[in-house]
């Protein structure tokens, strides 16, 4: 018997409607004035608004965004120029409770390329975000708990060091105590970084601002990092004679971190260059190494929490939070941090800070 292909009657519109109603993401379309045209079942479940309550209403009124007007303006701008926008936003359900959404918005065009409407595909990620918040809280509590016994260990090694100085002991004991002290400081540094991450997450990173000399800050940072390497020489060129306003300790943390990374990620070179320059409004600090470099396509991810370049993460130990903390501190000073590398021959980090906050 001859096989025939059965023609299944397809009513495209109906199929499209069925897909829209079955899909688990909220799919919302609006006209070019942002008035709601369609609102699927998942949108009803996500936001508790029923379709008939929202159709014809301005989407910005139905789903006010917690991040406010600025983000909305940015989104509209990108829709106009590129035709799409992607991002995470906090919105509200009908009863005002918050809902975390990862959203992808596109301009729908007709056959000849004219924009006719806007479609948003919104996924509710509230549970995942709440879990992340709980993890951050845990991080804060755990690092706090770890720090308490560590403070005692540090105290006892200090006492032992003093005892060894006054009472004769084998030189081996002094050496071991010195090393214990170094590792205690290292552990303290790691725990403080974890605490910083949880402070940043909770929005509790507070700046203690004062007016200070940037040159002496950079010099002190170099002096504290130089003894940790016997291979590298940190060369410093300064042309800045200005004081700036900011949190001195936090900015020292930034520079020390960049210097430690420069040493860690350049095991085969022997030089690190630091420069400070300024114009009337900004000072610029650069830290340049001649190490492994950072591939161009990874550079935009560097300042994200827990990010490490995969190809080298097994060779170099680390938690992937140093640059995240640096960028948060610099952002809090209304400054910028940028990276430049051709991916092979070293890396330059550039921190720009306003002279007045
Ligand atoms: P960590 O060094 O603990 O991994 P960071 O947040 O300080 O964390 O850095 C994130 C990642 O960026 C590192 O894992 C490394 O892959 C890359 N990186 C940072 N600084 C440099 C550098 N100077 N040279 C090359 N890669 C670097």
Q: Check if 295 has its Cβ closer than 6 Å to any atom of ligand 1.
A: no
Distance 355 CA to ligand 1 centre (A): 27
Measured distance CA(328)–CA(340) in Å, rounded = 19
Q: What is the pTM of this model?
A: 0.74
224-230, Cβ contacts within 8 angstroms, sequence gap of 24 or more: 224/256, 225/256, 225/259, 225/260, 225/263, 228/260, 228/263, 229/263
318 CA closest ligand 1 atom index: 3
Q: 3-state class of 186 per DSSP? A: helix
Asked if residue 327 lies in contact with residue 307, where contact means CB atoms within 8 angstroms, the answer is no
Q: Give the CATH fold of the 11-124 domain.
A: Beta-Lactamase (3.30.450)
Distance 172 CA to ligand 1 centre (A): 35
- The domain locations on the chain are 11-124, 129-201, 210-354
Span 242-252, average pLDDT: 94
pLDDT at 2 over 70: no
Query: Could you give the CA distance from residue 279 to residue 351 in angstroms, rounded to a whole number?
Result: 14
Domain 210-354 bears CATH identifier 3.30.565.10: yes
User: Tell me: domain 129-201, CATH 1.10.287.130, correct?
Assistant: yes
Tens-place pLDDT, residues 311-343: 898 899 999 999 999 999 999 999 999 999 999
CB 325 within 8 Å of CB 253: yes
pLDDT value for 206: 92
> pLDDT tens digits for 207-230?
999 999 999 999 999 999 999 999
pLDDT of 298 > 60? The answer is: yes
Report the pLDDT averaged over residues 72-99: 90
265 lines ligand 1 (CB under 6 A): yes
Q: Is 347 in the pocket of ligand 1 (CB under 6 A)?
A: yes
What is the structure's pLDDT at 9? Answer: 53
Q: How confident is the model at residue 6 (pLDDT cuts 50, 70, 90)?
A: low
Ligand 1 midpoint to CA 201 (Å): 20
Q: Is 319 in the pocket of ligand 1 (CB under 6 A)?
A: yes
Long-range contacts, stretch 179-186, CB < 8 angstroms, 24+ apart: 181/154, 181/157, 184/150, 184/153, 184/154, 184/157, 185/154
Cα-based distances in Å from 343 to 69, 255, 271, 291, 294: 38, 22, 18, 10, 4
* Position 1 confidence tier, pLDDT thresholds 50, 70, 90: very low
Please give the mean pLDDT across all residues of the chain.
91
């Amino acid at each position: 018997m001859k096989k025939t292909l059965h023609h299944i009657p397809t009513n495209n519109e109906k199929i499209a409607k069925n897909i829209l109603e079955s899909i688990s993401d909220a799919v919302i379309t609006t006209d070019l004035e942002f008035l709601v045209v369609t609102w699927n079942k998942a949108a009803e479940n996500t936001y508790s608004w029923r379709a008939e309550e929202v159709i014809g209403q301005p989407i910005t009124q139905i789903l006010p965004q917690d991040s406010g007007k600025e983000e909305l303006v940015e989104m509209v701008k990108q829709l106009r120029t590129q035709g799409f926008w992607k991002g995470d936003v906090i919105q509200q359900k009908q009863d005002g409770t918050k809902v975390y959404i990862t959203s992808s918005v596109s301009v729908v065009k007709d056959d000849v390329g004219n924009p006719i409407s806007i479609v948003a595909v919104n996924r509710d990620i509230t549970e995942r975000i709440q879990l992340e918040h709980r993890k951050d809280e845990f991080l804060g509590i755990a690092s706090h708990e770890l720090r308490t016994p560590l403070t005692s260990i540090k105290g006892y090694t200090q006492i032992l060091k003093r005892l060894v100085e006054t009472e004769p002991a084998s030189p081996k004991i002094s050496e071991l105590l010195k090393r214990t002290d170094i590792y205690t400081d290292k552990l303290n540094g790691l725990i403080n970084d974890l605490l910083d991450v949880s402070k940043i997450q909770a929005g509790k990173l507070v700046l203690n601002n004062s007016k200070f000399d940037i040159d002496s800050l950079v010099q002190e940072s170099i002096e504290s990092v130089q003894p940790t390497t016997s291979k590298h020489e940190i060369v410093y060129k300064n042309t800045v004679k200005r004081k700036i306003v900011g949190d001195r300790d936090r900015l020292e943390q930034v520079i020390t971190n960049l210097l430690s990374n420069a040493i860690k990620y350049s095991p085969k070179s022997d030089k690190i260059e630091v420069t400070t320059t300024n114009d009337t409004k900004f000072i610029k600090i650069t830290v340049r190494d001649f190490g492994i470099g950072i591939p161009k396509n990874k550079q935009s991810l560097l300042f994200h929490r827990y990010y490490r370049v995969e190809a080298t993460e097994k060779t170099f130990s680390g938690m992937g939070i140093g640059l995240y903390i640096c960028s948060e501190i610099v952002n809090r000073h209304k400054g910028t941090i940028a990276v430049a590398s051709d991916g092979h021959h070293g890396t330059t980090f550039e921190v720009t800070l306003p002279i007045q906050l």
